[in-house]
Amino acid sequence: MRFIPVSCEQRETMLHAVGARTVDELFEVIPASVRLARPLALPSGMSEIDLAAEIEALAVSNTGGLVSFLGGGCYDHYIPAIVDSVVSKPEFFTAYTPYQPEISQGTLQAIYEYQSMVCALTGMDVANASMYDGATAFVEAALMAARVTKRHRVVVSGAAHPEWLEVLATYAESGMIEVVTCPATAGVTDIEALTGLAVDAAAVLVASPSFLGCVEDVPAIAAVAHEAGALVVVASNPILLGVMEAPGVLGADIVVGEGQPLGNAMAFGGPGFGFFACKEQFIRQMPGRIAGRTTDVDGRPGFVLTMQTREQHIRREKATSNICSNHALNALAAGVYLASVGTVGLEGIGRACIAKAHYLHDVLIATGRFSAVSDAAFGNEFALRYDGDIAAMQHAMLERGFLAGLDVSRFSDDYAGLVLFAVTEKRTRAQMDRFVGEVVSL
């Protein structure tokens, strides 16, 4: 869908140019005898989300759509039409790194606004202009903490995303950091074990919500880490930050995450982007680049690349990171998304996701085919134990039009028998009830 708004002033200017006082006068050249004298027999207007749902329903009759309960890092959220409209503009779509501010003010301002929104979401002082994805942002936070603290060892929660842990282990093979994994129970970090492991650590890294969707006790984890002199890195779901307390308020020093939920399609698992924010005192060690607001020689406001500590810009030994292709267009989509939904809208989306997830969680357990694996609080994602063959269930549900969650046993034997479900604001009560009914009928 494309929508080009026209202001009242622009409309008046156009009417004046053609000598008309109102839009109705434009049609007076048509004889009254052939003009329709009643309203068109059309249904009443719809909101954008209702209209998109109606069009998708019509499309499903031709193509066969799937109702997705998949999550694990990539989520089926609604994307307002304005997002694609803005990011498809040639000025943004074909733009390269804005090295020359005199010809890149639009791109630089968009980056600056994105950074400001990320800071507001995370409770941090500064944010960079994005990373490759959530996993690399997670790793870069660990490397940054090592530079700040002059320590070598980082402690990561075993409740974090398994693929993020793999990326962290890959980076650790370079010898720059040593990675120690803290045990996790039922999707949350073992804080007692963390107390001993955090001694002399550069950072403690956790994800809240965790891979299984559980909300971590971030203040308690931060207290343990800070007592040991370690920085606290928290990975968060940006949609839920519209409802949950900002990690910066809870004691985090660095906040990262996967930004795909913010106006980026699931596609085939990418591309997304990583967001990265921290306290101002650590800005010199922050990877990537930062756009800042300044004034020119005439005192006019403008935007520039304030910092870009990549090795292609400064001496390699002084560079903080070699991440170059930072998925800026995806970050721009996130900025447009956040600007379009606003504070109230983001909170509403977050609350809808959480409420619907809790509904599905309870009705699935009520079937007797699933059982809970944790009593921890959760957001829009949760893991349940299935009493049958997960692969057979998912195959059968696929034939019925459903993506029945994620079989997480492929990541670890500790997850054997578990299915991870994600629920977004797009899922309706009717879809969830039909899904549960179909599962029971297997």
Span 302-331, mean pLDDT?
73
Mean pLDDT score, 211-234 = 98
Q: Are residues 324 and 220 in the same domain?
A: yes
Instruction: Encode 252-268: b = buried (16+ Cβ within 10 Å), e = exposed.
Output: bbbbbbbbbbbbbbbee
**Same domain, yes or no: 250 and 358:** no
Output the domain CATH number for residue 234: 3.40.640.10
Whether residue 15 lies inside any domain: the answer is: no
Say if residue 57 is in the same domain as residue 155: no
Q: Kindly state the DSSP code that residue 66 receives in the 8-state scheme.
A: -
Q: What is the pLDDT of residues 89-126, one digit of tens each?
A: 888 887 677 777 777 888 899 999 999 999 999 999 99
Rounded CA-CA distance 331/127 in Å is 12
**What is the residue type of 139?**
V
| Amino acid at site 210 | S
110/58 same-domain check: no
- Tell me what pLDDT residue 1 has: 43
Q: How confident is the model at residue 57 (pLDDT cuts 50, 70, 90)?
A: confident
pLDDT in tens, 81-94: 999 999 998 888 87
Q: What is the pLDDT of residue 2?
A: 57
Residues in contact with 265: Cβ distance below 8 Å, sequence separation at least 6, in sequence order: 79
354-366 per-position pLDDT tens digit: 999 999 999 999 9
Is there a single domain that holds both residue 140 and residue 178? yes
What's 379's domain CATH number? 3.90.1150.10
Check whether residue 229 and residue 331 sit in a common domain. Answer: yes
Q: What is the DSSP letter of 310?
A: B
- The position carrying tokens 């156009």 is 14
The span from the CA of 205 to the CA of 171, in Å, is 15
* DSSP H helical ranges for 174-284: 191-197, 218-227, 247-250
pLDDT number for residue 42: 87
* Contact criterion met (CB below 8 Å) for 92 and 334: no
179 and 276 housed in the same domain:
yes
Spatial distance between the Cα atoms of 83 and 48, rounded to a whole number of angstroms? 13
Q: Is the dihedral of CA 243, 248, 250, 254 positive or negative?
A: positive
Containing structural domain, residue 376: 49-79+343-441
pLDDT > 90: percent of the chain: 73
Amino acid at 352: A
Which stretch of 55-59, 172-176, 298-302 has the lowest confidence by average pLDDT? 55-59
User: Do both 327 and 409 map to the same domain?
Assistant: no
Token pair recorded at residue 188: 């949350």
Percent of the chain with pLDDT over 70: 94
What's the pLDDT tens digit per position in 1-44?
455 678 889 999 999 999 999 988 888 889 988 988 888 888 88
Has residue 428 been placed in a domain? yes
Segment (H or E) for 254:
strand 254-258
In a domain, 176, yes or no: yes
For residue 246, tell me if it sits in a domain: yes
Per-residue pLDDT of 258-269, as tens digits, reads 999 999 999 888
Q: Is residue 427 part of a domain?
A: yes
State whether 283 and 416 are in the same domain: no
State how far the Cα of 247 lies from the Cα of 231, in Å rounded to an integer. 13
24 belongs to a structural domain: no
pLDDT over 70 at 325, yes or no: no
Confidence of residue 316 (pLDDT cuts 50, 70, 90): low
In-domain check, residue 375: yes
The confidence band for 436, taking pLDDT boundaries of 50, 70 and 90, is very high
End position of a domain, from candidates 321, 338, 355: 338
Q: Is residue 7 part of a domain?
A: no
Average pLDDT over every residue of 309-337: 75
CA distance to 4, 16, 329, per residue, from 9 (Å) = 15, 11, 32
- Residue 268 confidence (pLDDT): 83
Is it the case that residue 55 has pLDDT exceeding 70? yes
Mean pLDDT of 233-241: 98
- Whether 428 and 353 share a structural domain: yes
107-111, 200-204, 261-265, 394-398: range with lowest mean pLDDT: 107-111
Q: How many domains does the chain have?
A: 2
Distance of CA 154 to the CA centre of its chain: 25
Q: Which of 282, 307, 338 is the last residue of a domain?
A: 338
Read off the pLDDT of residues 340-388 as tens digits, 9 standing for 90 and up.
999 999 999 999 999 999 999 999 999 999 999 999 999 999 999 999 9
Write down which residue in 279, 306, 338 finishes a domain: 338
Q: What is the mean pLDDT of the chain?
A: 92
Pairing of β 153-157 and β 203-207: parallel
Same domain, 328 and 207: yes
Query: Are 207 and 192 spatial neighbours (Cβ–Cβ below 8 Å)?
Result: no
Half-sphere exposure of 38 (CA within 13 A, CB side): 3
For residues 265 and 366, state if they share a domain. no
